[in-house]
Amino acid sequence: MQNKYLTIYREIAEKVQQGEYAAGEKLPSEHDLVKDFDTSRETIRKALNLLAQNGFIQKVQGKGSIVLDARKFDFPVSGLVSFKELATKLGENFQTHVEKVEKVKPSREVQQNLKVRSDQLVWEVHRVREIDGEKIIFDKDYFNPVYIDELTYEVCKNSIYEFIENDLAMTISFAKKEITVIEPTEEDRQFLDLEGFQTIVVVKNFVYFDDASLFQYTESRHRPDKFKFVDFARRTH
């Protein structure tokens, strides 16, 4: 049957949603699924690819297809929220580990993205986000010190946005975002729990004040199994 893979996809997806396949559990092997559904290996692979694309499973090299938690964290693509605001809203057990807070000479990429001169120092902040005991986000933030003169470890551990808005009385207005999927770097593997994962999702943020001043460039590096990126779009006429 031409669309048999869709039938298989829907049946497995329904079992995942109903908890018949638990998060972290392995799906039956391709060989077993071929026998269970009395179909070809190609049909099973098409169904598994569709399940992976829609966030029901993660194909892990050497381990097969791992069922993902259907209760992923919604990360709003269009919104502009801090990790603290997001995690508090979700009511999860979360921690922020501050790995670096210092003024540095910017790389060429940071110079271009933050619109600063090569001889101008910038704030570089590295933070690892842990949820339910797993390190799943690595944030690399760069701030223009023309706008943010001083940053402390305590501010970075709590919420930089809270500090900017409450202590500095500045209005964060909008951001441009770029989302890519890449292979993890050695640095990513050092700071994140990535065993078995061959990709990460990188969200680049260019964040502006209400006077259109660019003050922050961020690379937010995510383990792919825990987040879904959501947006709301309306067709204009």
**Beta-carbon neighbour count of residue 122 at 10 Å?**
23
Domain with CATH 3.40.1410.10 in the chain: 73-230
- Nearest Cα to Cα of residue 103 among 144, 160, 138, 139: 144
Three-state secondary structure call for residue 230? strand
Which neighbouring-strand residues pair with 216? 143, 207
Q: What is the pLDDT of residue 80?
A: 59
Which neighbouring-strand residues pair with 74? 228
Q: What is the pLDDT of residue 236?
A: 56
Q: Which CATH architecture has domain 4-67?
A: Orthogonal Bundle (1.10)
Q: What is the pLDDT of residue 135?
A: 92
Per-residue model confidence as pLDDT tens for the chain (237 residues): 457 888 898 899 888 877 788 888 889 999 999 999 999 999 999 999 888 877 778 887 777 888 876 555 555 555 556 666 666 655 567 889 999 999 999 999 999 999 999 999 999 999 999 887 889 899 999 999 999 999 999 999 999 999 999 999 999 888 888 889 899 999 999 999 998 888 898 989 999 998 889 999 999 998 887 666 655 555 655
Q: Following DSSP, what letter does each residue of 95-114 receive, concatenated?
A: EEEEEEEEEEPPPHHHHHHH
Domain with CATH 1.10.10.10 in the chain: 4-67
Q: Following DSSP, what letter does each residue of 4-65 receive, concatenated?
A: HHHHHHHHHHHHHHTTSS-TTPBPPPHHHHHHHHT--HHHHHHHHHHHHHTTSEEEETTTEE
Q: What is the pLDDT of residue 1?
A: 44
The H or E element that residue 163 is part of is: none
CA 183 to CA 187: how far, in whole Å?
11
Long-range contacts of 31-37 (CB under 8 A, 24+ apart): 33/8, 37/4, 37/8
Q: What is the pLDDT of residue 61?
A: 76
Q: What is the pLDDT of residue 224?
A: 84
CA 57 to CA 26: how far, in whole Å?
9
Q: Which CATH architecture has domain 73-230?
A: 3-Layer(aba) Sandwich (3.40)
